[in-house]
Copies of this chain bind each other. A is one copy, B any other.
Amino acid sequence: MFVDPRLRELVSAALDEDVGRGDVTTLSTVSADRQIRGTIFAKEPIVLSGQAWAEEVFRQVSSDYGAAVYAPKVDDGAQVEKGGVIGELHGSAQAILTGERCALNGLMRLSGIATNTRRHVDAAGAAGPKIVDTRKTTPLWRSLEKAAVRAGGGSNHRFGLDDGVLIKDNHIVAAGSITEAVRRAKAHAHHLLRIEVEVESITQIDEALAAGAQVLLLDNFDDAGLARAVSHARAQDPSVILEASGNMTPERIARINHVAVDIVSVGGLIHQSRWVDLSLRFEG
């Protein structure tokens, strides 16, 4: 959904990082006028993410090394089988060779996240909670990683420290109490932001709701405790929004997907994912 105006800048910095003063191998071995065709394909089954990254990489190298066009063949979110074609390239061989690694590195990382997210979302099932990410993202990659989560069928939590109030354990320590922290947040945050509090016990649930929290983050409850916490909180305030987190693997999500939480947040969508295997093959 979100368009990232910083994509151009990220890709430009990424190419600068890889290319430096120039791709000495390509520039010396390949003629400037050599035209070529190639295909990016999957070497294992994946859920795809990162087409905008790849398009931007080849757009930028084209302006420096000669025109090359990347034509995506499937959209982000698609499931691609082993051997399936992701996109086609044609144009300047210098441009394509210079951009290849940078484009693939983005596609492989982001598709890894989408593929991993899909497993969690499937475990939750259609009737289960929304699966959302956290702020445990690779610095400088948050917007793209959150798009990969959406490509895998997940949803997003807040995007940063400025578009949502989430009072966590360390804020409570620093503020003195949940009551005091919520009181201050209500006085200062603007009226379009809800206030969420991380709670780890029934006592904390009661204190947070009494203070006026509109959302609770139920952190690190075991399965039985989570069910009890949900019932308790809903009884106090039927309109409260409930989020659960803590060691949320696909297995556990499948186990608790009938508990009436609205949202399960999973850092591991991103930080426990691995790159999938993609490759660029030239037509000789």
* Chain B residues, CB < 8 A from A163: 20-21, 162-164, 190, 192-193
Give the oligomeric copy count: 6
A181 engages B29 (CB within 8 Å)? yes
B1 engages A27 (CB within 8 Å)? yes
The stretch from A3-11, A226-234, A249-257 touching chain B is: A3-11
Within 8 A of B (CB), among A14-28: 14-28
Expressed in whole angstroms, the minimum distance between the Cβ of A29 and any Cβ of chain B is 4
B165 engages A24 (CB within 8 Å)? yes
In the assembled complex, A98 has its CB within 8 A of some CB on chain B: yes
Given contacts A167-B25, A190-B157, contact A173 B1 (CB under 8 A): no
Bound Cα distance from A188 to B27, whole angstroms: 9
Q: Which of A106, A161, A180, A280 has the most CB of B within 10 A?
A: A161
* Chain B residues, CB < 8 A from A191: 157, 194, 215, 241, 243, 262-263
The stretch from A71-79, A80-88, A120-128, A138-146 touching chain B is: A138-146
* Chain B residues, CB < 8 A from A5: 15-16, 19, 64
Count of interface residues, chain A, beta-carbon cutoff 8 Å: 97
B174 engages A29 (CB within 8 Å)? yes
A28 engages B1 (CB within 8 Å)? yes
Partner of A274, one of B2, B15, B97, B272: B272
* Chain B residues, CB < 8 A from A173: 36, 282, 284
In the assembled complex, A156 has its CB within 8 A of some CB on chain B: yes
Bound Cα distance from A188 to B1, whole angstroms: 8
Partner of A28, one of B100, B185, B192: B185
Given contacts A19-B160, A21-B160, A160-B19, contact A170 B282 (CB under 8 A): yes
A160 engages B17 (CB within 8 Å)? yes
Bound Cα distance from A271 to B157, whole angstroms: 25
A22 engages B3 (CB within 8 Å)? yes
Given contacts A2-B27, A3-B27, A274-B271, contact A165 B192 (CB under 8 A): yes
In the assembled complex, A109 has its CB within 8 A of some CB on chain B: yes
Residue-wise interface mask of A (93-133) relative to B, using a CB-CB cutoff of 8 A (1 in contact, 0 not)? 10001101110111011000000000000000000000010
Bound Cα distance from A164 to B193, whole angstroms: 7
Closest to A173 in B: B282
In the assembled complex, A210 has its CB within 8 A of some CB on chain B: no
Closest to A112 in B: B271
In the assembled complex, A90 has its CB within 8 A of some CB on chain B: no
Bound Cα distance from A97 to B97, whole angstroms: 35
B161 engages A23 (CB within 8 Å)? yes
Partner of A135, one of B18, B22, B64: B18
Closest to A159 in B: B21
